Every structure is written in structure tokens, then in C-alpha cells.
Structure 1
Amino acid sequence: MKNFMKIRFFTRRNGDFMENLLQVGVITTTHGVRGEVKVFPTTDDAARFKKLKQVILDTGKEHLALEIAGVKFFKNMVILKFKGYDNINDVEMFRKKSLYVTRENAVKLKKNEYFIADLIGLKMISDEGEDLGELTDVLQTGANDVYVISKEGADDILLPAIKDCVKQVDIEGGTMQVHLLDGLRDLNSRREEA
């Protein structure tokens, strides 16, 4: 098992309606003149778009439920066609807007898989009981994810999301118990000094 936790990439805004939505992509631009848009997928399984019937577009002012009428793939992008949007002028305003799904329509997670949105904000506690701070970001490096742990007045800690480091995740309790490998704190301090 190469990675302890394969994490699907989604984001949320805390404390409002957006907490029940999970981001699956960002519209980058229009595609052609028939109302299609190019979407950069922010999920680790772009093929999931073939199964989606609806997405929610966050315009910044409102949330629009858009029915998906067609899905194609081009390089690392997803091409979407929305029902009722038939020309380029209809979708021009969707550029740089995020697409979401409800948690009910999200990919079902396996054991030891978590949405990044649910990990952000967890209190990070060492296996020795030390409060390390809060998980503020997840960096996706390819080999394994890296958790960014931030605490006021201290250097950020970059913790590899591997079985040797992640001991227990308690989403409901808002905590993650971790083991800091020997030298990890020193390595992070040297990174800050450079």
C-alpha cells in the first residue's frame, strides 16, 4: 500500500450553505459556440462527471443548479454541456466559477479516505499529546499528500500523509493524532530559515 490515505480533492467554505457542497471543478473557459464549457476537474476521478446529472454553480452571488446534458473529455479537461444553455453567450459569464455537488452526490469514500474539506481545520495532536496546531492545507505532491499544520507563533509543519505519520483521524471529534518522524520538526525549521 503506497499511500495510507488517498484523499479526494474538494473544498468548502466554513459555516454556511457551502459546507454541504463539495467542489468537483472550476470552469476555465467556453468551448466552441454551442454553449459548452471547459472544466478543470478538482476531483481525482474526472470520469465521475459521466455519472453526474447535475452540478451546482457558485456565481459568487447565487447558486445555480445546472442539469448536465453532455460530457466529453479533452486532455486533462472535462467539456460540459448544460441543458438550456445553447450558445457561447449563455455560458460566457460562467468563466472562472466553481462547480459543486452535494454530499449525497459525492463519490463514496472507502475506509481511511476523507474529503480534504473535512480535514481542513482539524486539531492536530502528536502521539505524545502535544497540540501541534491546525491542519490548514493539503498539498498534493504525486507520491503522497502532505498536510500543512499551522500554529500561531510557530513554523508550519509539513507532515507526509503516510501510515507512519497519521495514526488516527476523528472527523466527528475534530482531531487527528499524528506521529512526527525523527527530525521532521528540525527539517521544517530549516525550511523556514532558508
Structure 2
Amino acid sequence: MKGRDISNMTDKRICIGEITTAHGIRGQVRVRCFGDNPDSLHKYGPLYTSETGTETVTITLQSPNKGAWVARVKTKNGVVDDRNVAETMRGTMLWIDRSALPDIESDDEFYHTDLIGMDVADENGNAIGTVADVQNFGASDLLEIKPTEGGPTFYVPFADDFIQDVDMDARRIVVEMVEGLRGDK
């Protein structure tokens, strides 16, 4: 799987961060980065402010702050230097083109967006559902699974103890279903 072919996914955008709130009185904002490296917020140049639109902003990180970063934002109108303008940016998601991301060179690393929509089966090949989302509430990544037979979604830790195989070509993940994963007892 080294150097995975992502040609079928290059035309979509990937959300890599979010402006969570204004910070201070001089137009700074707090930004949460969804990747491992906050440098991604400015490494790829201007960031789109929507999944399909053309409007962009440039983020300049200044300092870490309570699990996020204090940053300056530059729009087409210049650098944001007013708290009221910064407040209007609250909740703005920050996007890049999928094609801007580097190829993954390791068999055990994945972009979350590439896992979403994959089929999930148990170790016996029985369909369980599809990956609806990938979440991280602080401890580790969790696959949110939408069950094939309906019902509420449930989480499977994205860890070696639970994940037996990730086949990107077949778009299939094999999990070891242990008692309690679906909330059953």
C-alpha cells in the first residue's frame, strides 16, 4: 500500500481546522487544528472557508492556547484587527484541496477522510456497517460505525486490539467485535 493511489479522491476538500472563537480585542482568533501538526494550517497556503466555495483566508499561528492556537487571520480585505470581525468568523471551518496533502508512505497511517464511507466487517466477513466519521475525544481515534441493520451509531477504537485489517483498495475494514462495543451487555 505504500504510496497509495489517491487519484479518485483528489477533487474533494479536506477540513483541517476550525476558527473556534475570537481571542482578545485586536482581532485575533482561536484555531483548532484537526491534524497532528498545527503547521498544516499555514503550510498549504490560503485555506478555503467552505467545502465548495472560493473564499480563502490565511492563518498565521502565534501561540498555543488551551488545546488550540491563537492566530491572526488575513482575508481578501486585509488582516483582521477588530474583535467584532473576528467574532463573525466563529465556527468557520478551514479546508484544503485533497490533492495538496502529501502521499502517505506508511501502511499503518491514514487520513481520516479516506476512512469515512469504508465498509466494516467482523472477523468472519459479516457486514457490520460503514464508517460514518472518525472522532477523537482526547484519548485516541474512534471509528463511528453506522450499522448495516440500522439503529444508533457506535464507536470502535481505531487501535490494533480492535482493527484487524484496513484494505484501502477494497475500501473495507475488518474489526474484532468484542462484547460491549455496540453498547450491548
Bucket of the pairwise TM-score, normalised by the shorter protein: 0.7 to 0.9
In structure 1, the partner of 2:180 is 187
Counterpart of 2:99 (choices 99, 104, 114) is 104
Please tell me whether residue 114 in structure 1 is matched to residue 107 in structure 2: no
Q: If the length of structure 1 is used for normalisation, what is the TM-score?
A: 0.69
Counterpart of 1:124 (choices 107, 111, 120) is 120
In structure 2, the partner of 1:175 is 172
Number of equivalenced pairs: 169
Distance 1:157 1:92 in 2: 34
SS in 1 for 2:71: strand
Letter in 1 for 2:47: V
Name the CA shift for 1:156/1:104 in 2 (closer, same or farther; >3 Å). Answer: closer
Q: What's the offset of the Cα at 1:33?
A: 4.3
In structure 2, the partner of 1:165 is 162
Distance 2:36 2:158 in 1: 16
Letter in 2 for 1:96: G
* Mapping 1:4-23, distance limit 5 Å: 20-23=12-15
More helix by share: 1
Q: What's the offset of the Cα at 1:45?
A: 2.0
Please tell me whether residue 77 in structure 1 is matched to residue 68 in structure 2: yes
Aligned-pair Cα RMSD in Å: 3.0
Indicate if the aligned counterparts of 1:39 and 1:77 stay in contact, CA closer than 8 A.
Answer: yes
Q: If the length of structure 2 is used for normalisation, what is the TM-score?
A: 0.72
Q: What's the offset of the Cα at 1:82?
A: 3.1
Range with bigger deviation, 131-140 or 115-124 = 131-140
Distance 1:178 1:123 in 2: 11
Unaligned runs of 5+ in 2: 1-9
In structure 2, the partner of 1:145 is 141
Distance 2:113 2:52 in 1: 22
Distance 2:165 2:99 in 1: 25
Name the CA shift for 1:102/1:85 in 2 (closer, same or farther; >3 Å). Answer: same
Distance 2:52 2:163 in 1: 38
Unaligned runs of 5+ in 1: 1-16
**Stretches (4+) displaced over 6 A:** none
Counterpart of 2:81 (choices 77, 87, 90) is 87
Distance 1:177 1:109 in 2: 21
Deviations 1:83-112 (A, max 9, x none): 313421544421211111222333653412
